[in-house]
């Protein structure tokens, strides 16, 4: 069974930082994009960041660019999201995504994690 397990979420004050991890098992996602999406209650699940297998061309949503950094360790089949300068509007459930493909008008994601809660207080 393919599993993506997120960790590192929690409660932090505005301006603080968190580091999310996503450990994959059951499959090695060779040559594919991995990344992060987030969803607040009553809102759509939004793209946050993705990174290629070769770790070049990291891609970020405008809302997090300059504050978040995505990275991956292919030997460990793990992707990370370092979140700095957090804002209350970053509050959401963060979902790890594997085999994320950008078709131009939408993202196709084959595998999702269960999500980890990030709450940023004022």
Q: With H, G, I as helix, E, B as strand and everything else as coil, classify residue 74.
A: helix
* Pairing of the two strands 116-121 and 10-13: parallel
Measuring CA to CA, how many Å separate 68 from each of 4, 16, 71, 88, 115?
20, 12, 10, 15, 18
Tokens of 70: 């995505």
Which segment of 50-54, 79-83, 84-88 scores lowest on mean pLDDT? Answer: 50-54
pLDDT tens profile 15-67 = 999 999 999 999 877 778 999 999 999 999 999 999 998 878 899 999 999 99
Contact 5, 22 (CB under 8 A): yes
């Amino acid at each position: 069974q393919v599993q993506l397990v997120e960790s590192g979420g929690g409660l932090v004050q505005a301006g603080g930082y968190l580091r999310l991890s996503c450990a994959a098992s059951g499959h090695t996602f060779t040559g594919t994009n991995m990344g992060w999406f987030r969803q607040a209650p009553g809102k759509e699940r939004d793209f946050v960041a993705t990174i290629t297998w070769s770790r070049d061309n990291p891609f970020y949503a405008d809302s997090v660019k300059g504050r978040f950094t995505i990275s991956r360790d292919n030997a460990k089949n793990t992707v990370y999201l370092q979140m700095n300068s957090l804002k209350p509007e970053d509050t959401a459930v963060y979902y790890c995504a594997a085999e994320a493909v950008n078709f131009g008008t939408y993202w196709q994601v084959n595998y999702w994690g269960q999500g980890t809660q990030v709450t940023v207080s004022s």
